[in-house]
Amino acid sequence: MSNPYNKDYPISWEELHRNARALAWRLLDQGPWKGIIAITRGGLVPAAIIARELDIRLIDTICISSYDQLETGVEASKQGELKLLKGFDGDGEGFLLIDDLVDTGKTAAAVRAMVPKATFATVYAKPAGKPTVDMYITEVSQDTWIRFPWDMAQSFATPIADLQD
């Protein structure tokens, strides 16, 4: 299987926090909100930041798995079959549905079908997934692998020019 990701976009904790706060600013005037539904696992950190900024105390989750990690690591991860581990009772009315990223839109479409009345917001969005969310902060190209801070350890970074070989 060939790797569809040609670009690498590492995100720091500070950048993620700043972007999640920017998303909270956009969501502020659309409330009041009953609560947040975080899509696990990636939506947990942005949901916590947004909950703090909007003073939301009720946080629930939809637990769904969509990526299979192959033996060679994250770079070879691929989107596989969706597995619902925990759903949400209700149609989502008055709730924010939060995730870190919308990629192909496959997971987003499945989750949106579960809670069609929730307002769906992500911190990052790729072109294929943008139509499935109501709001996002940063768009990245479809061929970019986003490296979230919880997936990284500090190490040497190869200069971009050296990657062209």
pLDDT tens, residue order, the chain (165 aa): 456 778 889 999 999 999 999 999 999 999 999 999 999 999 999 999 999 999 999 999 999 987 555 444 444 455 568 999 999 999 999 999 999 999 999 999 999 999 999 999 999 999 999 999 999 999 999 999 999 999 888 778 888 888 875
pTM: 0.83
**What structural domains does the chain harbor?**
31-69+77-152 (3.40.50.2020)
Instruction: Just list the catalytic residues.
Output: 99-100, 103
Q: Looking at 41-141, which runs of residues are DSSP E strands?
A: 59-70, 73-86, 95-102, 119-125, 135-139
The H or E element that residue 7 is part of is strand 7-10
